[in-house]
């Protein structure tokens, strides 16, 4: 799908295989449900996801801080 992001597995993110972020299915986020991180996503994927979410939730006027 056009709004899905494929994240390639690597040593940093600890994914066993390539993974797909299904951004169309994101509706809410509850930090209490997160137990622990499994790895880190590189800045390229993180920036793509931030841009999509800002657009998806109508927050495009907010600036994106590149980390």
- Distance of alpha carbon 51 from alpha carbon 32, whole angstroms: 24
- Distance of alpha carbon 36 from alpha carbon 41, whole angstroms: 14
The pTM of the full predicted model, rounded to 2 decimals, is 0.57
Question: What is the structure's pLDDT at 67?
Answer: 46
Kindly report, residue by residue over 5-28, the tens digit of the pLDDT.
889 999 988 889 999 988 878 777
- Distance of alpha carbon 35 from alpha carbon 21, whole angstroms: 19
Domain chopping of the chain, boundaries: 4-56
Provide the pLDDT confidence category of residue 61 given band limits of 50, 70 and 90: low
Q: What's the average model confidence in pLDDT over 38-62?
A: 82
Given a cut of 80, whether residue 47 has pLDDT beyond it is yes
CB 53 within 8 A of CB 26: yes
């Amino acid at each position: 799908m056009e709004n899905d992001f494929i994240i390639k597995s690597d040593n940093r993110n600890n994914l066993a295989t390539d993974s797909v972020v299904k951004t169309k299915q994101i509706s809410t986020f509850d930090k209490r449900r997160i137990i622990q991180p499994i790895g880190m996503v590189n800045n390229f994927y993180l920036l793509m996801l931030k841009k999509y979410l800002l657009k998806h939730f109508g927050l495009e006027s907010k600036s994106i801080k590149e980390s």
